[in-house]
Structure 1
């Protein structure tokens, strides 16, 4: 465990953010950061849809986690893009093949407060992000960890 919700650091950009950034950058494997409580029961695995290689690795990890934990997969799609309908169709196709429940939600605003509200509303069990995702850079990543009790799985 690298970080836990509620741990405080002296200032923005202080020890915690530098340590987290260095560890995430150096890790050659998945890294999991936990919130204050471990999720119990049925909680979806969330992932952002992305067409780049890092985003695809995160999607693959989220799919794997949904399968092995028997949880719902919830894919956050960029609103109004051409890729939204293709991604929605691909997720629905995967769900049908696996006999799993999954949903897609249009998610345009990637600020921390909106994302944390979504994680709480959905009672998310985990959020899977590629290491390069903008929500993990600098102070934004630190704020995400402080504000959310959802497990964050970072994929290299």
Structure 2
């Protein structure tokens, strides 16, 4: 598997997973936004364009470099790239992220400053669909990664 295939798969998967997160937010099922949360690692105000822009650039950079490399390695361990393997890897990663959401209260400048509420267990204080949004975004990412990498 070439790095160019991994980067391309990561790019497409990142764009589609961002759409899933956006969909959940647009219906107001959750307040969770990975781009806002990444931006809040550096800035204290979630409602300014700079926070969202920096968060989006980090989301894109991680989604086309580090994360697809880890997903490709995990798919290799699980028997090779494919839609099903990608779904499994995405589900495992999404479940881990949902469980770890309460840690954002400690690392997010926006939460520490009181500009965003603490996420609570599984992020439920940001909406009852937050854990499902996190799982769905990661499953879509993994499925797309696996499908594209299988084609290469």
Q: TM-score range by the shorter chain?
A: under 0.3
Please, what TM-score do these two structures have when normalized by structure 2? 0.24
Please, what TM-score do these two structures have when normalized by structure 1? 0.24
Q: Which has the higher strand share?
A: 1
